[in-house]
Structure 1
């Protein structure tokens, strides 16, 4: 089979840091090619070279046997290479249609922009992905999942031979992933080559044909996925098996850190109660969108349930809680909330690591209090969480996903918080960083803290947690010990309800 694209002997350095060293990659028509490795392995750099964002220091790119070079992303797109990067590139103050046609706006009869054609073609592109969005909607009004799908629609709508999808499902639910996979398979069947970058093992084995693994900027190998198992692929990436990622469970026998009783999320849903003890990690499991996030966010005023009573540190709070003051009231009770969307809801990307870590400490001080210096605390937090950066002045936006997540966790671990609510703790994070984050949460619990965690990855909940509440139809339908839980058992509990 002839190669559609071949990258041969690619090397790239940024200053004194070598990002890629003599890496080769061949993409065949009609295949979905997984590109895997820990953050910093060189995946994004390799794809940005193929997309015309960076130029290689050495090596060459051949398309259908001819040597090509792309001076910029437009040149790559014109050569048939479409890219959807993990960092969404949509402009929030423009409509979906304006984003879809940015830089290639069609001209009307009188020389102006043909906005009617833009709307019609955008609607067609969205319809093909099963989206019913209005093309005139501002991107700022879309959810994270909707923005991701618009980005994907933009890439798929291009008449390209090669599609690069970098973490395309990080913010998508199960139904949306199924729609995306259907379109990926259609592109594959049409003879296209798709590069698929993801940290989710189930996706890789469900959609991909071949896998290439990079580590520390070097090629480890390329193998057919039919010859691999998740454990062997993880071992190829980091030298550890799947079960070695999770720390040993704690005993979770401490006093209650939080009790929630008679929580009714909606008028037509059954009330339920739950507790979490000191030293315990509790997970909310079940099918996507069944009320797990509502239950968690009700505790910090980011969702308004019908009713409920929260008992915490001897104080009783009746829900719903005011949205404007919910998070601050939670912090005053020694709680911390880590949202799923660390970039929009969690971190100040343009600010330094140190500023992000101490943000919660400053927020808890009186408005006119003199500023305090937290240099030693920042350094200790970075050391304890193994944040990989040259120093606390590095902007958080320049860090890998795993290090960004550790900085966000560090913000609350630097306070006196002893109860942590965390959504998607390892979203967009590589396997090595996942293990570190699991250790951080485990150590927090072992030191007397308590954790409630949400995750779309059932294997993660089973491996990380001590106890699970299965939520379905906005109520708890089952409680189980994670040590004996299985994916099948959780699904059966949810569907039986």
Structure 2
């Protein structure tokens, strides 16, 4: 197994335990890498070795230096000092194309697809095949892109504009793009952040195939179950420094979390609330589509309720029906006893819901939630401004902004810092803070910790639970089953556009949630969504 990069320099090692290859060698060695931005050290002498036929996890909290280290290997950044050896030969990558030509393929956490181009055009960007007459061979691009997508089980048309894809579909296109290249080293930075459990297993099959072919895979993720399912070795960084490299066969999730942040797994989730109060959100005979079965749901004061299920089964369509981004077929909705006429207007749905005391936190905080070029202060104040009349004089809200940043422990240079410069966890806290500052009663939250590190996850869980304990109510959907079990009071499983089972989160297991999500025991009854 890999111990430290210095121990693995240019030697072949027997690796029989978890690797698909009988003998492996060090394909990449990064030694004593240092990097600073504007005088702030991002990497402080980090070393890591990547072996053939092995999946190497790279972990640490946001800001630990993981992405910076991999961007140096990918040619996005150049190190201030240190050495990179590829097959024992020192190399320098001055641009991403240099790394790609050397056999290093990267799928970054931040999606890099161009929305105004098709899937095929994105997958061949910068290396378009040509016809005998010198023009771009679009037919070949579509054919080969379709083949790569099919290998991941996708039936997407390669001629589809990327702007028409969901977040999960875009992520799979990114992954297909990376896997399609003839590389020896693959860097996957949060590749499953937008994928559900079934899609993750599809990806894992392809990672195992790459491993069996003798490739080296770097896997960056905050999801413990994925790390232990797919990886052989883990390197942990903290504040730009190397904490250590270990064999995962010798680790437990609790030990790995303690290595990263000094906390045990059980400490991530706050204690559940007491008996809930009156209904805050009531849904009756709701039908997402004409063919779907009706269901009913109550969200009560003081509780956090989850919408669980496989991708595309209706949980997001239901959530977005409440804010006007989806047109349901039928149903009745009441917010704190006041009827919400359906369908909700697409143009003013979010604003109308906020006037009724409801905040909506979308899955894609960067595209749909935050104003990345504006300050933290402007982003938090957006909800406060929207509550006022259009003719009212502008207000500063400096005190509310400062109190919100303090109570949410937002790490920023100040309220004037551009929100686009913050880490993912702090961006998510700013988005939550927008509605907490506006004194709303109900939160509708999609993927509360998408792309967020372990430490920030714990803080966000605490913020949501504190909101509920103070009399709020939270309806949340997430692809992370463990998150729903640990965070929520009640879990509603959605299958085929209807709620097929409800269960107390304290009694739920990953197995019985997946069993219901697959529709294994029949469909739902009507009101309440309970099984027959």
| Alignment match, 1:69 | 92
> By how many angstroms is 1:212 displaced?
0.9
| Alignment match, 2:31 | 8
| Alignment match, 2:452 | 429
1:496 pairs, out of 502, 513, 521, with: 521
After TM superposition, the score normalised by the length of structure 2 is: 0.90
Distance 2:199 2:306 in 1: 23
Q: Residue 151 of structure 1 aligns to a residue in which SS? A: helix
1:482 pairs, out of 505, 520, 524, with: 505
| Alignment match, 1:211 | 234
1:222 pairs, out of 245, 254, 279, with: 245
Segment of structure 1 superposing worse, 423-432 or 338-347: 338-347
Segment of structure 1 superposing worse, 195-204 or 360-369: 360-369
Contact kept? 2:198, 2:310, Cα under 8 Å = no
> By how many angstroms is 1:108 displaced?
3.0
Distance 1:133 1:52 in 2: 30
2:59 pairs, out of 36, 41, 54, with: 36
| Alignment match, 1:271 | 294
* Structure 2: runs of 5 or more not aligned: 1-12, 14-24, 523-532
Structure 1 pair 135–433 and aligned structure 2 pair: CA distance change class (3 A): same
Q: How does 1:242-281 map to 2 (within 5 A)?
A: 242-281=265-304
> By how many angstroms is 1:56 displaced?
1.3
| Alignment match, 1:143 | 166
Q: How does 1:227-246 map to 2 (within 5 A)?
A: 227-246=250-269
Residues 202-231 of structure 1, C-alpha deviations (whole Å, 9 max, x = no match): 111121111111111111111121222212
Contact kept? 2:279, 2:336, Cα under 8 Å = no
Verify: 1:192 aligned to 2:219, yes or no. Answer: no
Q: Residue 358 of structure 1 aligns to a residue in which SS? A: helix
Contact kept? 1:306, 1:319, Cα under 8 Å = no
Residues 21-44 of structure 1, C-alpha deviations (whole Å, 9 max, x = no match): 111111000111111111011100
| Alignment match, 2:22 | none
Distance 2:202 2:269 in 1: 31
Q: Residue 442 of structure 1 aligns to a residue in which SS? A: helix
| Alignment match, 1:98 | 121
Contact kept? 2:196, 2:480, Cα under 8 Å = no
Segment of structure 1 superposing worse, 174-183 or 452-461: 174-183
Verify: 1:302 aligned to 2:322, yes or no. Answer: no
2:468 pairs, out of 441, 445, 450, with: 445
Distance 1:491 1:106 in 2: 43
Residues 314-342 of structure 1, C-alpha deviations (whole Å, 9 max, x = no match): 31224332323322221111001111111
Distance 2:370 2:503 in 1: 34
After TM superposition, the score normalised by the length of structure 1 is: 0.96
Distance 1:106 1:479 in 2: 52
| Alignment match, 2:388 | 365
Aligned residues: 497
Residues 134-190 of structure 1, C-alpha deviations (whole Å, 9 max, x = no match): 332222122222221221222112111100010111112333322222211111111
> By how many angstroms is 1:16 displaced?
2.7
Runs of 4+ in 1 over 4 A off after TM superposition: none
Distance 1:315 1:81 in 2: 57
Contact kept? 1:354, 1:393, Cα under 8 Å = yes
Q: How does 1:88-167 map to 2 (within 5 A)?
A: 88-167=111-190
| Alignment match, 1:20 | 43
Distance 1:77 1:357 in 2: 40
Contact kept? 1:252, 1:277, Cα under 8 Å = no
Distance 1:106 1:173 in 2: 34
Residues 241-261 of structure 1, C-alpha deviations (whole Å, 9 max, x = no match): 111011111114322212212
